[in-house]
Copies of this chain bind each other. A is one copy, B any other.
Amino acid sequence: MDSPRVRDPERMRERILDAAQALILDHGFAATTVDAVVGRAGATKGAFFHHFGSKSELARALVERYAAMDRAHLEERLSRAEKLSSDPLQQVLLLIALYEEEFASMAEPFAGCLFASYIYEAKLFDDSTLEVLRDSTLRWRRVMREKLEKVAARYPPRREVDMESLADLFYSITEGAFIMTKTLGDKTLLGRQARHLRNYLELLFAPAETGVTPPIS
């Protein structure tokens, strides 16, 4: 009935990864047992250790999948924003707005970020796993920084800011808002925090007094 007797190794692997991710975001990596993972995935230990050589290998595979998804997600949104406007400032603002939209349309309050989960158990992971975190963070920095430098070239910022830390603000605010969301269970929080980032950029790069765009509401 419910369980198709057909074998689909790729799907099984994904099911295990999905189960592990959900459990890890609630319990952390250490407290997520292999038994619990296979239980949730509807698999067995045999299947688990067939697909992953060890629990640490699962950790790396999981974060690599997550990083790839995060990267693809950012690239997709950014290219959408770039198609919607040719002005770099508008592109950045649109990018944030797109994220706001998605946050607003989420059913549950958001489970959390795997990067943040890992970093607070950093000593449990090997360097190659932590390298994925660093790479992803630095990618965010680079992508946003390049875009912001184009913005700054066209719209001289009203305050002297370095573009690196301004780029980091995207990551910071998001991660911080994830934590608050998990703490308070308020799913509107994420979008409202992103909105402030948008406000800041609008104010910072506002071309002239009258050029301040009105709130979209």
A residues in contact (CB < 8 Å) with B? 25-31, 112, 115-117, 119-124, 133-134, 137-138, 158-162, 165-166, 168-169, 171-177, 179-180, 182-184, 189, 192-193, 195-196, 199-200, 202-204, 209, 212, 215, 217
Closest 3 pairs (CB-CB, A-B) = A172-B176, A176-B176, A30-B31
Which of B122, B182, B200 is within 8 Å of A26, CB to CB? B122
User: Closest residue to A182 on the B side, CB-wise?
Assistant: B119
What are some 30 contacts across the A-B interface (CB < 8 A)?
A27-B121, A28-B30, A29-B31, A30-B30, A30-B31, A31-B121, A31-B123, A112-B119, A115-B183, A117-B120, A119-B179, A119-B182, A119-B183, A120-B120, A134-B183, A137-B180, A137-B183, A159-B203, A159-B212, A161-B196, A169-B196, A171-B180, A172-B173, A172-B177, A172-B193, A173-B176, A199-B200, A199-B204, A203-B203, A203-B204
How many Å lie between the Cα of A7 and that of B193 in the bound state? 50
B-side contacts of A160, CB under 8 Å:
215, 217
